[in-house]
Structure 1
């Protein structure tokens, strides 16, 4: 009987003891189970960072200049070239005026050249017979 009283007393004392062992872990502890699911259930919208690149486009010559990197981009035999200086055949043109400021999402302006032509025009095509009455030079548009 004495054992029963001792057991009952231990049980009563144990029930009244601090229940902090069953509490949630501190906020700095890694989350597991239910707590991890609750923490990660929020929907966080991640927006991609879109960088804008500034160019000066010379539509009459199909040439781009990037003031930030001081690079030129030009067409050469159907391929785009780039460098710190324009080739000699482009040096006879005046780039002091006539350029259009263009903001693009690429560090390579020729990737968006079709958009630039559609937006800012293609005067070089009219000068060289590329248009409705094409055929002046015997080649296709």
Structure 2
């Protein structure tokens, strides 16, 4: 039973998801369906292989972001998410939590889980 909790119940460690976004963190063993790149303010959707990003009041969906190459984007700091809806629904909170100059370990939030607890305790359901 413990292995089940470790594999499926804990958020992916190392990104310091704040309380409002911790429920959108991929669970250990999963990569999430979107990866957010703060420097570019863009989300990469793994399944469609497209970037989603705001452009004024509209959202673009393209294979790259403006004049950047995919390689340049993929080599920058990123945060995985498991988003149930379009990224625009969460973008303001994500952008505040992970500003353009964010890097792993900078401005981390206290992660609210411990390996010895079950997912019931972790998610406070």
Bucket of the pairwise TM-score, normalised by the shorter protein: 0.3 to 0.5
| TM-score after normalising by structure 1 | 0.41
Q: Which has the higher contact order (CA 8 A, sep 6+)?
A: 2
Larger Rg: 1
More helix by share: 1
